[in-house]
Structure 1
Amino acid sequence: MTDKLDDTGRDSVCGLPHGSDYSLQQRCAQRIQLFIESPQVKKVNTNSQHEIGENGCRPPLRRCDPARNLLARFELKVRKWPDDLSGLSAHNSYLAAHHTDGLGASPHSLLRNAASLLNFCERRQPANMVLSLQPWLPLLWLCAGLLLSSAPPLLGKECPRLCVCEIRPWFTPQSTYKEATTVDCNDLRLKHIPSNLSTDTQVLLLQSNAISHTRGELDALFNLTELDLSQNNFSNVEAVRLTDMNHLTTLHLEENHITQLRENCLGNLSNLQELYINHNEISSISPRAFGGLRNLLRLHLNSNKLQVIDNRWFEETPNLEILMIGENPVIGLLDMNFKPLGRLRSLVLAGMDLTDVPANAFVGLDNLESISFYDNKLQRIPQLALEKVPNLKFLDLNKNPVHKIQEGDFRNMFHLKELGINNMMELVSIDRFALDNLPELTKLEATNNPKLSYVHKLAFRDMPALESLMLNNNALTALYQHTVEVLPNLREISLHSNPLRCDCVIQWMSSNRTTVRFMEPTAMLCTSPSELRGKMVREMRKLEPLEQCLPLISHDTFPSHLDLELGASVSLDCRAMAEPEPDIYWVTPLGAKITADTVSERYHLSSEGTLRLFHVQVEDSGHYTCVAQNTEGADTRVASVRVNGTLLDNAQVMKIYVKQTESHSILVSWKVNSNVMSSNLKWASATMKIDNPHITYTARVPVDVHEYNLTHLQPSTEYEVCLTVANVHLQTHKSCVNVTTRGATFSLDLSAQHPSVAVLAVMATMLAFLSLATVGVYVARRWKRKNYHHSLKKYMLKTSSIPLNELYPPLINLWEADGEKDKDGGAEGKPSPVDTTRSYYMW
């Protein structure tokens, strides 16, 4: 009669070399103590901890095997001994009387509690949990004490030196209990397999030795069912020389130095069901390397050097149920990668640096129940690929840089029971309807996500079976009551170790409005407002209830600084919580307000507050402000966006400066920032404006002009000169400068001219005075002659020697020229065409 238990067992705690001076009881106790204090007990095996088995339990870790063997051996004693513990020695009776710790006094009750120990050991643990067996030390001592009489030695040949040979419990790959003739030669630093092995040997343990090849020692072991050669020095499988072993079901070759698997390298093992070849150096596997292994159920290829996964490997293993192939530097998964594995139930793809999963990677895996993507680089949920797994029950997405959980990420996963989204360093939010229509989901774990600061009020929908919601150790400031009310079967919430804001949003937690149990309520502490900092949330019941409160933007949903490449697109996720729920809009660096109704080729704002920027240019850099507003007020938060390392404000895109100043004119020029490529900053229009308290001028400037001359200004007067341009995307940029014209003194004007011009001016002035004097004399004499009737012939002949036509025309021409110029200036209403490569003038 055999008993069906949980899974396979191997190794024993109590196997010690024969001939020791210790009694079996002392040796057994010593081995148990060493086992409890060993690193294997205190450290979780990385590969096994990610594998999820049937009913949500992981297959047993190697650390649990000694406890399982103790249980099985103890069970043999229970079948033979009466309930009054008459088979125990006095010492064991003392242990049973004083160290049961509630485990029970009868062997049968001890057996039941030993089974509980196994259940505790094998149940799924968090990735960072340290397993301690100290509370079970009395039980293990008691089990050791029951083994006062050693197992019968193997018949036939003598047991190899330093090895332990005995009958031990053994479990088949189907978890069926049996008793097996076992030879334990672990940890002996052997360089060769002992030659005097009994032909009755069924389990041969040679772990942690220095064996690099065999010399025929295994040829006569026709009854061998399990062979452990892990942690040795084999460089290839052929060196093991496994021939005619029709009963071998389990082979351990992990932690050797195997570099490749050649074609049909294990073809003689037709009944092999478990192959552990992980933690080697395998970089190449022949397409038919597993030829002949049609009964293989479990294959461990993790922690090797594989760069590709070839679906031809699995064509010879159609019955495979568990595949662990993680921690390989695989370039990426391919479509139909696992299609031959129609019976696969568990797939572990942990630690492969996967950034994406093709939509058809899991086609053909109709019976797959669990997948682990632990410790990859997935930035979004591989929803299209997971849709091809109709019977998925357990999904491990822990330790991936997923940014947010969105609507549709888990679509059509009707049989999903447990979901893990823990330790996601980039996860910021669980958005509206992110988990929807999951009728069988019973447990959701979203813990230890340092940026997870927002869970939407409607994040969960149609999840009638959810019982456990783990949200502890995140950055959550609140959780809406409605989020919990829509989960009819919810029994417990873990929300501790979050920076909770104790206002109207979470005041429901302090009352008896729900039947949900909060785990570790003493660790649910307020961080704001300041008067409640450090107090427990449940103390809020003493405060006056509030129905409305200010919005609070979740500070981890988008970064405060962002560096982008030219032409990139980016999303800025702004999330806020308040009562009533706030409206969210954004303000661009140029002051434009972006709402969900805004239509633009450059921006798009979702209803939840995500601003999408498309094909950014340098002029898009600057400060973007998120505003969350409700009837109580508003909260804002700014993100500084750099493009190609440049952070521009409105004035930095271009700069206007004064090139030359005169008493009646100003020459200005402007320059585009050197970081803004001319091809990315093309003006659609430009306007020049000059302004002071007395006068304002405005003129349109040709697009390609970069210099302008402003004329007919007042001397010693301050002006503000501004240039406003609009680019092809209707974004405007403005740059201004203040300048004062020069004074209009004569001497100053002369000094500014060329020296020859000054000389000519002096000569012209002298000539003018001389001409005016001559005219004066002439006029006076004419007047005198007219009045006194004297003869003036003598004088007239003298004055006529000065030609008046040579004096008047220059003055008259000068006045006429100025008059014409004034007329032209007065008729000009806008700048006349000028060579645009040089400058323009404005009157």
Structure 2
Amino acid sequence: MHLSQRELIKGRLIIFLLLGVKLFTGIESRMDWNVECPLKCACYIGRLDTENFKQVMKIVNCTKAGLSLIPQNLSSSTEALIVSSNSIKDLNLPPRMRQLKYLDVSNNKVTSFDKQIQKLIQLRNLNLRSNFITSLRNGQFSGLKYLINLDLSKNKLRYIEKHAFGGLNYVQRLNLEDNNLNILENQWFVGMPSLKWLYLSRNVLRELKNGVFDTSNHLDTISFKENKIRNIEHNAFFGLEQLATLDLSNNNILSIPSKSFLKLPNLKKLNFDGNPIYRLVQETFCNLNVSVLSLSYMPHLSVIEEGAFVNLTKLISLQIHDNQKLVFIDPNAFDNIPSLRNLYIHNNRLRVLPHKIIQSLPSIKVCHFYSNLLHCDCNIDWMVNDIMSKNHTSIMYDGAMLMCYTPPSRYGLPIVSLPQTNETQNCVPMTIPIYDKNYEMSIGEELRLECHATGVPEPNITWMLPNGSMLSQSIKYNRIEVKNKFILIVRHLQKSDSGLYACQAANSEGFDISETLVKVINKPIRIIALPSTLNYITITWNGTKYWSMISDYQIHYREAKSRVNYRIVHLSPYSRRYTFSNLKSYTSYEFCIVYVYSTEMYPVDCINATSGKALDYLPGITSVNTKAVAAVITIVVMIFILACAIMVVRKFKRRKSYSSTTDEEDTFVTTQIPLENVYQPNTYMCSSKTSLIRAQEQ
């Protein structure tokens, strides 16, 4: 018997240990919890295992229970309440829920919540995702002093008062994604000294101002992806000394705010994917400590200039793929990038990968270059040799996926099928134009053409103008500039600038030329005259393509068919109409919009408009007869006297209370009074007076 008791005790201990192991390892997720459980809910002791919260708790789970209100008969010992995916509008919690640590009210219809939530002093996780909350007031979460995770994503938030998050001293994760926030306030984060992860994706933020994160020196990750950010001030990230990950992808950023990143000494991951950046200029990324940098899916990126990446000593992975307009990376784009191992430049429109790029990256291990428009001449021989070399084991190129695009004789061939060469060969140059085959532009606009080239030895570039001029070096003269040899700029276009422009690349092996035809036409402006008055004429115009260009325009006007000099009106940049006063009546005027550059003038559009006639604008009576005026006045006076007499007679009759009249007498008196003369309609009187007054004014 004694032995059996020992065995029984041992067996119970084993069962208890097994249950504990199952509970904490997730093999058995639930145990019975004997409490009154709300209808359609489950009450149990189990391990709550979410992304941000993992703990064994007393759980009430009312997910998809068809609730419109939070159950009020909850046990006061409840530690986790899940009422996700119901139709709850008001977050009215029952009292005495001081043990609650986890509250999930996601996917409901909550628009507001009462102060009862502030009494949840043990709450660690609050999930209000996918509701209809539009604003947060000051002190909205005061009392939740131990809260760690706050999720307000997918709401309708437009307005957050400055101290709405006050008192949340231990919050580490704040999710405000998928809302309608258009501004950030630095006061939001003053009361959140422990904040590490901040998610602001898919809002409508347009700029990041200085000092927003002055007090957020513990932030590790910020996501701004899919906003409308266009401007980032130099000190916008000041105070983020511990920031490691910054996501600015899919915004409206036109240039990299390089100086802003110098305030981030511990930045490791930086994402600029999907921004409308056209080029990476010299020292775009310089002296940063990032290890992962992504510049992919940019719709307009076309050129990476010399020295765009400088002194990035900790950079390990660089992603510049899926940029459908990227045609050129300068051979000297990388300078002092000693640790780069992975270079992803696939799915672009690159014609060649200069060998000098690979030579400048001593630690490179992986280079993805497939799905580009490869030009398979001797410029690519070094890669063929490197891939096919029996001793080559250092770099992975995905050689089987590299296909030739040009010349036509090699279209579609994998580069591994090309013959190997033992010596470096010289190559005829190939131009890489970054312009269209033809342009139609307006007078006054700016023409900007860019052209690069490849070849061995490195070719020289010469620009040829329609007038036969050839420019082969950086120069700036009058309206024409050649910038860094690769960019031709012609400002304030004139009709004489129309013609064929060409970029020529030449070396000792030969030359290559790319051309474009430019046609300069009048500005598409059309003048419209509005209905004129006595001595005023208003004109308006439309069709301007660029607002700023109107600053170089004037209005010239004079009487039509006159030989006098034009009078001139200078237009402001945003003018769209102008009124000319003190003109002669019933006179035709000529109005012209003229483009002006230096001493040259180009009429764009002209119109004739006539001012109004003098007689057309004299209202009322134009001449008055004295006798007629006297007759009218006499009639008015007589009517007034007659009306007064009738009133006196009526008053006298009321006072003769001692006598009565017969019906015949009443009838006689009534019929003798000319009522139609007393109650004449006053319309004619008013119109007569008005006519007299207008006549006198004239």
Bin for the TM-score computed over the shorter chain: 0.5 to 0.7
Measure, in 1, the Cα distance between the counterparts of 2:176 and 2:366: 38
1:237-276 deviations in Å (ceiling 9; x for gaps): x348413212212211121111111111111211112211
Q: Does 1:360 align with 2:235?
A: yes
Q: Give the Cα–Cα distance (whole angstroms) in 2 for the partners of residues 462 and 543 of structure 1.
A: 30
Superposition deviation, residue 628 in structure 1: 1.9
* Cα deviation 1:515-534 (Å, max 9, x = unaligned): 44335332211112223221
1:53 is matched with none
1:517 aligns with 2:395: yes
Distance (whole Å) between structure 2 residues aligned to residue 354 and residue 298 of structure 1: 22
2:316 to 442, 445, 450: 442
Aligned match of 1:508: 382
Residue 119 of structure 2: SS of its match in structure 1? coil
Amino acid at match of 1:552: M
Give distance in 2, aligned partners of 1:172 and 1:453. Answer: 42
Q: CA RMSD in A?
A: 3.4
Residue aligning to 1:152: 31
Question: Partner residue of 2:569?
Answer: none
> Given the alignment of the two structures, is residue 163 of structure 1 paired with residue 42 of structure 2, yes or no?
yes
Shift of 1:403: 0.8
Deviation per CA, 1:623-658: give whole Å up to 9, x if none.
4322222222222223455667669xxxxxxxxxxx
**Does 2:173 align with 1:298?**
yes
Which residue of 1 is the match for residue 226 of structure 2? Answer: 351
Q: Give the deviation of 1:588 after TM superposition.
A: 2.7
Matched, 1:432 2:311: no
Asked if residue 195 in structure 1 is aligned to residue 72 in structure 2, the reply is yes
Report SS of the residue matched to 1:517: coil
Counterpart of 1:611?
488
Matched, 1:234 2:110: yes
Going from structure 1 to structure 2, the CA distance change for 1:213 and 1:485 (only over 3 Å counts) comes to same
**1:414-563 superposed matches below 5 A:** 415-512=289-386, 515-542=393-420, 547-555=425-433, 557-561=434-438
Query: Given that residues 476 and 482 in structure 2 are in contact (C-alpha distance below 8 angstroms), is that contact kept between their aligned partners in structure 1?
Result: no
Q: Which residue of 2 aligns with 1:248?
A: 123
**Matched AA of 1:431:** E
Gap change, CA 1:419 and 1:644, over 3 Å in 2? farther
Partner SS for 1:152:
strand
CA drift at 1:327: 2.1
Shift of 1:618: 5.6
Q: 1: distance between equivalents of 2:407 and 2:20?
A: 65
Query: Which consecutive residues of structure 1, in runs of 5 or more, have no partner in the other structure?
Result: 1-75, 82-110, 112-142, 648-674, 682-726, 734-843
Could you tell me which residue of structure 1 aligns to residue 90 of structure 2?
213
More RCO (CA 8 Å, sep 6+): 1
1:610 Cα deviation from its structure 2 partner: 2.1
In structure 2, distance between residues paired with 1:78 and 1:405 = 61
2: CA distance, partners of 1:376 / 1:635: 39
> Corresponding residue for 2:473?
596
| 2:56 is the alignment partner of 1:179 | yes
Give secondary structure in 2 for the equivalent of 1:510: helix
Task: State whether structure 2 residue 101 is matched by structure 1 residue 222.
Answer: no
Q: Equivalent residue of 2:188, what SS?
A: helix
Q: Give the total of aligned pairs.
A: 516
Identity score, percent: 27
Please say if residues 170 and 180 of structure 1, whose CA atoms lie closer than 8 Å, have aligned partners that are also in contact.
no
Range that drifts further, 632-641 or 453-462:
632-641
Change (3 A) 1:644 1:162: farther
Report whether the alignment pairs 1:285 with 2:145: no
**Whose Rg is larger?**
1
TM-score normalized by the length of structure 2: 0.68
Q: 1:424 deviation in Å? A: 0.5
Q: Is the 8 A contact 1:180 1:203 kept in 2?
A: yes
Q: Offset of 1:190 from its aligned partner? A: 2.1
183, 190, 198: which one aligns with 1:308 = 183
Structure 2: runs of 5 or more not aligned = 1-16, 525-544, 555-595, 603-698
1:653-664 alignment, distance < 5 Å: none
* Code of the aligned partner of 1:475: R
Distance 1:201 1:515 in 2: 61
Q: How far 1:352 sits from its partner (Å)?
A: 1.7
The answer to whether the Cα contact below 8 Å between 1:172 and 1:178 also exists between their aligned partners in 2 is no
Please tell me whether the aligned partners of residues 45 and 56 of structure 2 are also in contact (alpha carbons under 8 angstroms): no
Cα 1:539–1:269 change in 2 (3 A) is same
Name the CA distance, whole Å, in 2 between partners of 1:497 and 1:208: 45
Contact 1:214 1:240 in 2 (8 A): no
Residue 168 of structure 1 aligns to which amino acid in structure 2?
R
Q: Give, as a single letter, the amino acid of the residue that structure 2 aligns with 1:250.
A: N
CA contact (8 A) 2:441 2:521 kept: yes
Q: Distance in 2 between matches of 1:566 and 1:318?
A: 58
Change beyond 3 A, Cα 1:334–1:150: closer
Q: Secondary structure of the residue that 1:505 maps to in structure 2? A: helix
The offset of 1:563, in angstroms, is 6.5
Deviations 1:103-133 (A, max 9, x none): xxxxxxxx9xxxxxxxxxxxxxxxxxxxxxx
How far the C-alpha of 1:399 sits from its partner, in A, is 0.3
| Residues 41 and 61, structure 2, Cα contact 8 Å, conserved in 1 | no
In the alignment, the residues of structure 1 paired with residue 116 and residue 19 of structure 2 have an alpha-carbon distance, to the nearest angstrom, of 41
Looking at structure 1, the residues matched to 20 and 45 of structure 2 have their Cα atoms a distance apart, in angstroms, of: 19
Instruction: Tell me, in whole angstroms, the C-alpha distance in 2 between the residues paired with 1:517 and 1:621.
Output: 49
Q: 1:167 to 1:383 in 2, by over 3 A?
A: same
